[in-house]
């Protein structure tokens, strides 16, 4: 009788662990972060490789018309209705004297009449490690000095791991 109770308790604990899914903890920048709505979802994937971080994005509209995918080298492509529109290339560095992650990226339109542009974002982890704030501090050489003028995006952590599936 005691063995049956122990086995029943073990099965119940295993089932509840599966139902709850993996826990989400403060792993610093590493993990998968998400924002958006039912119409369009954006994910940020940050992984640690040695002393560096690898930053990638993913985006999908609800109708599948707009899609952004990245390779392992942080090179991304955005397409609309299957036609490539933009290329992105991301680089990261940790700001000396702080733990802020600086993400620089070039955006290159595929149209020959459009010019490329460059962004610099400051990324911070907040709210017990479950919120990622990305604030643009520079766009094409124009600096946004105060927090009030910096375009800011807020992401919520959805996994401690890098989820490779599209958003």
Q: State how far the alpha carbon of 159 is from the alpha carbons of 8, 26, 46, 67, 125, in Å.
A: 30, 10, 11, 21, 14
| Backbone torsions φ then ψ of 146, nearest 5 degrees | -100, 150
What pLDDT sits at residue 95?
A: 92
- Which pTM was predicted? 0.82
Distance CA 145, CA 150 (A): 7
Contact in structure between 129 and 120 (CB atoms under 8 Å): no
- Give the number of other CB atoms < 10 A from CB of residue 31: 25
Q: Where are the domains positioned within the chain?
A: 25-159
Q: Which CATH class name applies to 25-159?
A: mainly beta
- Chunked in runs of 10, what are the mean pLDDT values of the chain (167 residues)? 41 39 85 93 94 94 94 95 97 92 97 96 94 96 90 96 74
- Nearest to residue 64, comparing CAs of 52, 50, 82, 48? 82
């Amino acid at each position: 009788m005691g063995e049956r109770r122990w086995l029943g308790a073990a099965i119940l604990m295993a089932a509840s662990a599966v139902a709850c899914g993996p826990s989400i903890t403060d792993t610093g920048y590493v993990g998968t972060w998400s924002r958006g709505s039912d119409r369009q979802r954006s994910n940020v994937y940050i992984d640690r490789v040695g002393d560096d971080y690898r930053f990638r994005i993913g985006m999908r509209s609800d109708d599948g018309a707009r899609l952004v995918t990245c390779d392992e080298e942080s090179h991304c492509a955005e397409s609309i209705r299957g036609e490539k529109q933009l290329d992105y290339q991301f680089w990261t560095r940790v700001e000396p004297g702080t733990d802020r992650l600086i993400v620089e990226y070039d955006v290159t339109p595929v149209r020959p009449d459009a010019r490329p542009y460059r962004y610099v974002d400051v990324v911070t982890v907040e709210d017990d490690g479950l919120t990622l704030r990305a604030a643009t501090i520079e766009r094409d050489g124009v600096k946004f000095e105060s927090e009030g003028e910096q375009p800011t995006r807020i992401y919520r952590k959805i996994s401690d791991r890098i989820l490779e599936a599209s958003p």
